[in-house]
Amino acid sequence: MATEKALRASLSSIKGKFTSVENGLIAQGTTRPTQSRFETIKKCLDNYWMQNETIHESLQDYLADAAAENAQVLEHATLFKRYCDLVERAETLKPNSIPTATKVTVKLHELKPPTFDGDITNWTSFHDLFTAAVHNNVGLEPAQKLQYLVDSMKGEAGGVINHLSISDNNYAEAWKLLKETYDRKNVIIDAHLHRLFVQPLMKEESAKYLRKLVDTTKECCQALRVFGQETDKWDSILIYVIREKLDMETKRQWLLTLDPSKLLCLKDLLDFIDKRSRTLQDISTKARPLSSQPSSQKPSSNHNKKETKSAHVTSDSKCRICNQSGHFVYNCPSFQKLSPSERMEKVKNQRLCFNCLFPGHMSQSCPSKTSCKKCSRRHHSMVHFESAPTSSSQTPEEGSLCAHVANGPTYPSFSHVLLPTAVVNLLDSTGRQQSVRALLDSGSESSFITESCVKKLGLKTESANVNVNGLASAAVAVARKKVQLSLSSRIYKFNTSFEALVVAKVTGNLPTTSCRKHDFEYLKNLPLADPFFYDSKAIDLLLGADIFYQLNRPHETLRGPPGFPSATDTMLGWVIAGQYNSHKATTTTIFHLAASWRAELPDFGDSRLMATRRWFPMEKRMANDSMLRQMYIEFMREYASLGHMKKVHPHHIPVGPLVGPKTQDDLIAHLIRFRIWTFVMKTDAKQIGHTRCLELQSQLLDLFHVGKIELRKWTANHPDLLSRIPDECCE
């Protein structure tokens, strides 16, 4: 342990060091030191003060009395003030305090974690970005990294790690699962090669597809080079593959530019395609839009301007019927020789607009304002069908009787074919069975399932790239995913597993229209695969030939009556298929009779205007007063039910409040008078007819005549009620 003398010597040494620093700062004057010198001075001051603190603590053991302790505290405080002054003086000379020109900086957007949708060709870029942004970020806890990882997973990729809870222990496991699933170099290389070699064939010149061909080729080659594939040595192979994807005109232009003595290079081909794409784009932009109607028709002054689509001029100027230049479809001699039905088929096959006979749009969106000259409908006059001749429009003369009897069967046009459907059970991700409606199709090479059904089942899908072709090898869709399914029957003990391609939609509702249930009474005792085969419903699953022939059972087919479908026993139950005709033979008798019994109506004169003027205000009043309207309706119905409804002159509704003095007793007086008697009765007067009114009128006249009172200003809603009243006494 150091002695007090040694500690005092060290303290004096520290004071000397402070003095040296102070002298140096004084000598510096207003000249500012460099950044490194400033940091050295600051560091030295901090070290000297830390040494002073250590010595001060050690001297506390040698202080004999309070006076010595006070002296030591004062010395320590003085040295601390000196240290603070030196630090403050050094801060004033800090290089950063020198005014400098303000630099203009650009605020970059926050870098968000990348996303991954399960496409294995995108795994490498996702892996590198996520590793740099999240995986190697030491400031994040494993649980936070796992949360970022889960948020980055989209589509089928999310199913790989969705079962893991968010915790520090599960991040390494989740990252490992993803790498085991997608970090497979051979599979990634195969995917890029597949994308490179299966690019679609170009049937005609298109700047868009030429541009896409170049971009896809460059992307695939660059991705393959990342995995060590020497694509620079594949020029001959790639040139051949890409050349076969080109349309005939572009391929011909490319062959014309070749030098037979020079070895072909992929870069030259890609540069040529890129230049060709820009040329086609420029031509299509500058091309004059073609009119969608013959030149003989006068253009309308308010004709809307049409939006032109990019297309090559030489291809658009050719007739789509005979493939020759110089005329359009409506001027084509070959087209004019055809019948309207044959013209319609040609228009459909060439995908032309039915209204203007030009490609690129449908008749619903045709910009042309003209229509058929014969029927004014939205189709061209050259594809107009004449209506079938109708029966004579002449009506039978009054008093004559005409009968037409049509003997024999008549058939409504309602006949179609029922396709075999079945309701099957599919195993979902939780192990439960879910019912799905399936179509059995032995003509399909593969089985298909809809995306919505896969989502409902919660099944995990795999990447795929399969072209789906329909009739005449026409491309229908491209299946990007496939899924493994476990199917079981509702009727028999049968289950199987198979692979299905995932598509957006398998087919439309089947059957196309619902059928009558009572037409299929001959099937009621069969265990049907689809109990509601007659109802038009959606199809979620298509069972192709890969599974269809596993469903056969050694039973005979139950044939239906003529015009009705048959039933076949399968492992899924009895399926119904065949032609269905919902018509029956009928005998129709049509009579045309003249209404000779109809009496001649009297001439009412011009009374319609007067009637409408009275009716509209009353209708408006009842529209504003719902209670009044209801009372009016009930009254009129009751009046009609009693047989008193008859057309009369319009009058106001006598239900409004009357103007005049109060003539009825108060309600309290009625109630008190009602309670006085031992026995009472209550009733209501029923509406009376005009005959009873005449009797009451006669009694009323006799009563007032006795009192020598003459009644005047008579009025009534029926003329018979005023027949006994002199005209001068009527209003």
Range(s) of the domain holding residue 47: 4-97
Does residue 426 share a domain with residue 281? no
How far is Cα 569 from Cα 555, in angstroms, rounded to an integer? 6
Structural domain includes residue 628: no
pTM of the model: 0.30
How far is Cα 590 from Cα 474, in angstroms, rounded to an integer? 50
162: phi then psi, degrees, rounded to nearest 5: -65, -25
Using pLDDT thresholds of 50, 70 and 90, give the confidence band for residue 18: confident
Q: By the 8 A CB rule, do 147 and 214 touch? A: no
SS3 letters for 357-420? CCECCCHHHCCCCCCCCCCCCCCCHHHCCCCCCCCCCCCCCCCCEEEEEECCCCCCCCEEEECC
Does residue 271 share a domain with residue 231? yes
- Taking residues 594-602, report their average pLDDT: 51
- Taking residues 386-396, report their average pLDDT: 42
Return the pLDDT at 38. Answer: 74
Among the ranges given (207-216, 241-250, 357-366, 570-579), the one the predictor scored with the smallest mean pLDDT: 357-366
Return the pLDDT at 437. Answer: 93
**Strand 495-503 versus strand 447-450 pairing type:** parallel
Among the ranges given (377-386, 402-411, 424-433), the one the predictor scored with the smallest mean pLDDT: 402-411
Return the pLDDT at 410. Answer: 39
Return the pLDDT at 487. Answer: 92
Does residue 37 share a domain with residue 65? yes
Does residue 194 share a domain with residue 177? no
461: phi then psi, degrees, rounded to nearest 5: -105, 165
How far is Cα 233 from Cα 263, in angstroms, rounded to an integer? 13
Asked if residue 721 has pLDDT above 70, the reply is yes
Tell me, rounded to whole angstroms, the distance of Cα 534 from its chain centroid.
29
Among the ranges given (36-45, 337-346, 389-398, 528-537), the one the predictor scored with the smallest mean pLDDT: 389-398
H or E segment at 590? strand 588-593
Domain total in the chain: 6
Q: By the 8 A CB rule, do 146 and 174 touch? A: yes
Does residue 537 share a domain with residue 432? yes
How far is Cα 218 from Cα 195, in angstroms, rounded to an integer? 11
CA atoms within 13 Å, Cβ hemisphere of 482: 13
Does residue 203 share a domain with residue 177? no
Does residue 260 share a domain with residue 174? no
Using pLDDT thresholds of 50, 70 and 90, give the confidence band for residue 306: very low
Structural domain includes residue 355: yes
Among positive and negative, which fits the CA dihedral 229, 230, 236, 242? positive
Does residue 553 share a domain with residue 673? no
DSSP assignments along 467-509, one per residue: EEE-GGG-EEEEEEEEEEEEEE-SSSS-EEEEEEEEES-S-S-
How are strands ordered across the β-sheet holding 566-570?
415-418, 573-581, 566-570
Q: By the 8 A CB rule, do 534 and 517 touch? A: yes
Using pLDDT thresholds of 50, 70 and 90, give the confidence band for residue 426: very high
Does residue 679 share a domain with residue 544? no
- Taking residues 556-583, report their average pLDDT: 82
| 396, two tokens | 């039978």
Q: Quick one: DSSP state of residue 697?
A: H
Q: By the 8 A CB rule, do 718 and 697 touch? A: no
- Taking residues 587-597, report their average pLDDT: 46
pLDDT in tens, 449-483: 999 999 999 998 998 888 888 776 776 778 889 99
Asked if residue 573 has pLDDT above 80, the reply is yes
Angle at 204 between CA 199 and CA 210, to 5 degrees: 50
Return the pLDDT at 105. Answer: 53
CATH number at residue 519: 2.40.70.10
Return the pLDDT at 293. Answer: 42
Q: By the 8 A CB rule, do 516 and 582 touch? A: yes
Which of the listed residues 581, 605, 622 is the one where a domain comes to its end? Answer: 581
**Strand 433-440 versus strand 541-543 pairing type:** parallel
Average pLDDT of the chain, as a whole number: 77
CB atoms within 10 A of CB 422: 26
SS3 709: coil
* C-alpha separations of 83 from 30, 54, 77, 91 in Å: 20, 15, 10, 12
Return the pLDDT at 109. Answer: 61
Does residue 461 share a domain with residue 354? no
- Taking residues 312-339, report their average pLDDT: 72
Q: By the 8 A CB rule, do 522 and 563 touch? A: no
How far is Cα 572 from Cα 500, in angstroms, rounded to an integer? 18
Q: Which amino acid is at 48?
A: Y
522: phi then psi, degrees, rounded to nearest 5: -70, -5
Using pLDDT thresholds of 50, 70 and 90, give the confidence band for residue 299: very low
How far is Cα 273 from Cα 493, in angstroms, rounded to an integer? 60
Does residue 15 share a domain with residue 124? no
Using pLDDT thresholds of 50, 70 and 90, give the confidence band for residue 350: confident
- Taking residues 583-604, report their average pLDDT: 49
Tell me, rounded to whole angstroms, the distance of Cα 211 from its chain centroid.
29
SS3 731: coil
Structural domain includes residue 393: no
CB atoms within 10 A of CB 434: 15
Structural domain includes residue 622: no
Which of the listed residues 546, 581, 616 is the one where a domain comes to its end? Answer: 581
Return the pLDDT at 413. Answer: 42
Return the pLDDT at 704. Answer: 83
Among the ranges given (66-75, 91-100, 229-238, 416-425), the one the predictor scored with the smallest mean pLDDT: 91-100
Alpha helices in 100-141 (DSSP H): 123-130
Return the pLDDT at 436. Answer: 92
How far is Cα 320 from Cα 310, in angstroms, rounded to an integer? 18
Which of the listed residues 183, 198, 213 is the one where a domain comes to its end? Answer: 183
Structural domain includes residue 638: no
Structural domain includes residue 564: yes
Using pLDDT thresholds of 50, 70 and 90, give the confidence band for residue 401: very low
How deeply is 343 buried, as exposed, middle or buried, from its count of CB atoms within 10 A (0-12, 13-18, 19+)?
buried
Asked if residue 136 has pLDDT above 80, the reply is yes
Return the pLDDT at 555. Answer: 66
User: What is the percent of the chain with per-residue pLDDT over 70, rounded to a whole number?
Assistant: 80
pLDDT in tens, 166-196: 888 888 888 888 888 888 888 888 888 888 8
Alpha helices in 183-206 (DSSP H): 185-197
- Taking residues 633-647, report their average pLDDT: 79
- Taking residues 519-535, report their average pLDDT: 85
- Taking residues 555-580, report their average pLDDT: 84
The candidate with the shortest Cα–Cα distance to 177, out of 163, 166, 188, is 163
- Taking residues 711-725, report their average pLDDT: 79
Structural domain includes residue 438: yes
Asked if residue 561 has pLDDT above 60, the reply is yes
pLDDT in tens, 501-525: 999 888 888 888 888 887 888 887 7
CATH number at residue 56: 1.20.58
Return the pLDDT at 300. Answer: 42
Structural domain includes residue 257: yes
Using pLDDT thresholds of 50, 70 and 90, give the confidence band for residue 438: very high
Does residue 80 share a domain with residue 145? no
